[in-house]
Amino acid sequence: MKNKINELLKYEDLCRQINDVKDFVIFKKIFENSQGKDQSERFEVGVKKLKNLKKSFIEKESNIQTIFNDANFVNIFKNIKEELGRKDESKSNEFIKQMVKYFNINDEKKKKN
């Protein structure tokens, strides 16, 4: 039993990562567009792209349009915009809350942007 528990504990970090992004709209779109031989590889690619996006928010936070128009992410944001356009406003508000939380956007001007 102890060996089985230790085996499961090997996946603790992965489970935390999955839990952090499982409902995140941006990650879902990144994951859908990721290439890989299996879901595990696609997940790793998705997490890496999401980290790169977070880095862009830190480096280019004063110009949000630069991030939205970045070649690596333009299709993702376009797909999200189209999807949210077909849903009620509460989904857009949820997306905004996710963005603010994940990218740690505290400045009110940047939140509105």
- pLDDT digits 0-9 by tens, 20-40: 888 888 898 888 888 888 888
* Total structural domains within the chain: 1
Dihedral angle sign, alpha carbons of residues 111, 59, 26, 73: positive
Give the pLDDT of residue 87. 83
Give the pLDDT of residue 58. 78
Give one word for 63, left, alpha or beta, with left for phi > 0 and alpha for psi -120 to 50. beta
Low-confidence ranges of the chain (pLDDT < 50): none
Range of the domain at 13: 2-112
